[in-house]
A and B are shown apart, each in its own frame.
Chain A
Amino acid sequence: MMDQEAVDEAVDEMGALLRSDGADLTLVEANPKTARIELQLELGGAECAECVLPADLLEQMINEALSRRVQGEFELVLHDPRRGETG
């Protein structure tokens, strides 16, 4: 079952990486009943959207960070404003 601490650690790890480019990653919800982990990419502090990791690569890296820590399957829902999503 989904461990909240494990999710938090993964979000912190990726958040630290994004903050170096002026962006950030916040946890919207980690729901153990639906196995959904919903995250929001914040671009407010970034100089430009393209300065941050490309969307596909970012999602892959977040998935890997979560997979290393979270036991069992999960569905990552990443709200990325660059994909026309407002979250």
Chain B
Amino acid sequence: MSATLTAEQVEVPADPGELYERSLEERWGDGAPIVPPTDDRVLALLDATPYAPDHVLGALPPQYGVATVELVAINAAMAGCEAAALPFVLAALEAMLVPEWNAFGLTTTTSSVFAMLLVNGPRRDDLGIDYRAGCMGGAAGRGSMTIGRAVSLCLRNVGGQRAGETSRTVFGQPARFGMCFGEWEERSPWPSLAARRGFDTSDDVVTVHGGKGTFPLADIHNDDPRDLLYLIAKSIAFPLSNMFLSGTPENGEVVVAMNPMWAERFGSAFPDVEDAQSYLWEHAWQPLELWPAGNQDILRGKGRVDGDGKVRLVASPAQIVPFVCGGLGSLHAVALPSFGESQLQSAVVQRNQPTR
């Protein structure tokens, strides 16, 4: 590629251990070893995107560092991304820069919330984006381990998001190292998340969720789809959910990752995903009496209590988002609770001709 790189050149130790030490001193990394972003590596990554290196994606909060494609490629190289993965990183950042994702709030909040990348499309396997067993950690696909990390490094190095400094996060969460996984579209009884959001199934799409963490759910006793969905609904409506803190229940989505075996049962009972969402919404509430008196007053004051004394988790079924993934061991679902004041955003992966 004939691109011209403009970022400052820095001499660093070639020895991996010494480079790691240097990266810690300079605060370039995330605490884990980095791959040196040499010109060869960065240029190879830039070859995979139709964007010019000086193309500006936007200014990343909280410090509003300008995210050029070149800077993103440098951080993607550091994360260990292969060239074909850079367009996925760019798509994720494009989605996060949409105001409705609320990067301004999410990069500074006390909450643990962080960008969780949900991937659809034909290139999941090629890129090593995990969607089967261990997709949220443990499967170790290169795409899953590096694309999310690249986004995280950009937020750190370009946006200046640093816990305890510019970010007030109390706990953080493991996703802050990077979280990227795919949907097992072929095992879903429903259209994929991207298709439901209006995208073409031939496109690779990254949907970014402001998720507070992974909330594991399990049932080893019950195979009935309605019973399982009922229990999932009650579980995601846990009393300390951000959704009950929100001034308005219309914002934010709860992603519910369903294993393929359960999804098949859910699909038999609810061939239309909207019906499954409605069923979940119908049961995703708690009685006002669950909360202590002071909290009850606040919930009443915010207009969150309906005429039957129910406090619903979200305003509409569309805010509970099924996503089929995970292994064939059944028994489990994982909820990705919402920060509340953030809306799922999706972007199509824009790439040059396939590099392989």
Q: Point out residues on A near B: beta carbons under 8 Å.
A: 1, 31, 33-35, 72-75
Contacts and interface: CB of A to CB of B under 8 A. Distances in A.
Contacts of A72: 132-133
A35 B186 CA distance: 9
Nearest to B125: A1
B187 A73 contact: no
B187 A34 contact: yes
Main secondary structure of the interface of B (DSSP, over half): loop
B59 interface: no
Contact of B328 (A1, A31, A75): A75
B120 to A, nearest CB: 14
Contact of B327 (A31, A33, A34, A73): A73
Given A33-B186, A75-B328, 12 more contacts: A1-B125, A31-B186, A34-B186, A34-B187, A35-B132, A72-B132, A72-B133, A73-B132, A73-B133, A73-B327, A73-B329, A75-B261
Contact of A74 (B125, B261, B328): B328
Contacts of B133: 72-73
A60 B278 CA distance: 39
B186 A73 contact: no
A1 B133 CA distance: 12
B125 A35 contact: no
A2 to B, nearest CB: 11
A5 B329 CA distance: 24
B125 A73 contact: no
A72 B131 CA distance: 13
Contacts of A74: 328
A57 B273 CA distance: 37
B343 to A, nearest CB: 31
A74 to B, nearest CB: 7
Nearest to A76: B328
A77 to B, nearest CB: 11
Contacts of B329: 73
B324 to A, nearest CB: 11
Contacts of A33: 186
Contacts of B125: 1
B355 to A, nearest CB: 20
A35 B328 CA distance: 9
A57 to B, nearest CB: 21
A5 to B, nearest CB: 19
A66 B106 CA distance: 47
B17 to A, nearest CB: 33
Interface in B328-356: 328-329
Interface in B280-335: 327-329
Nearest to B139: A72
B133 to A, nearest CB: 5
Contacts of B186: 31, 33-34
15 contacts: A31-B186, A33-B186, A34-B186, A34-B187, A35-B132, A35-B187, A35-B328, A72-B133, A73-B132, A73-B133, A73-B328, A73-B329, A74-B328, A75-B261, A75-B328
Nearest to B186: A33
Nearest to B329: A73
